Amino acid sequence: MAVAFAEEASRIRRTGHLSDLQIGRAVGAAPSTVRDWFARRSSPSGIRAERVAELAEIVDRLTRVMDPGYIPVWLLRPIEALGNRKPLDLIAAGQARRVAQIISGLESPGAI
């Protein structure tokens, strides 16, 4: 099962156009650790695996509402509806649900 999380990290990179630095920032891992996941030399576990799963869900939803190439920009922008916090930082802090609520508004305007 642990390999599945490494595969998910690689899929996030491809689908969301995120770098090892951005993924690492979101999940609390060094970029070199994330590169090890990409190369299947190791795999995220524990809280990092949870953050990978949360980030994957966020990226999947974002691909439905914006150009995938813009996802890294959006994740690093201070969002007014999030108290001018950056979505990537909220995911890292275990607050992916707050980010998901904002995405709901993008999916269905007026849903927030």
What pLDDT score was predicted for residue 97?
96
Tokens standing for 5? Answer: 């999380």
Across all residues in the chain, what is the average pLDDT? Answer: 94
Residue 79 has pLDDT above 90, yes or no: yes
The answer to whether 38 touches 5, Cβ cutoff 8 Å, is no
Where in the chain are the domains? 2-107
What pTM, to 2 d.p., does this model score?
Answer: 0.92
Query: Three-class SS of residue 85?
Result: strand
Angle made by CA atoms 17, 60, 15, in degrees to the nearest 5: 25
Residue that is written with structure tokens 């909220």 in the block? 90
For residue 79, what are the β-bridge partners? 85
Instruction: Work out the pLDDT band at 108, boundaries 50, 70, 90.
Output: confident
Helix (H) or strand (E) holding 105: helix 96-107
What are 81-107's pLDDT values in tens digits? Answer: 999 999 999 999 999 999 999 999 888
Average pLDDT over residues 6-22: 96
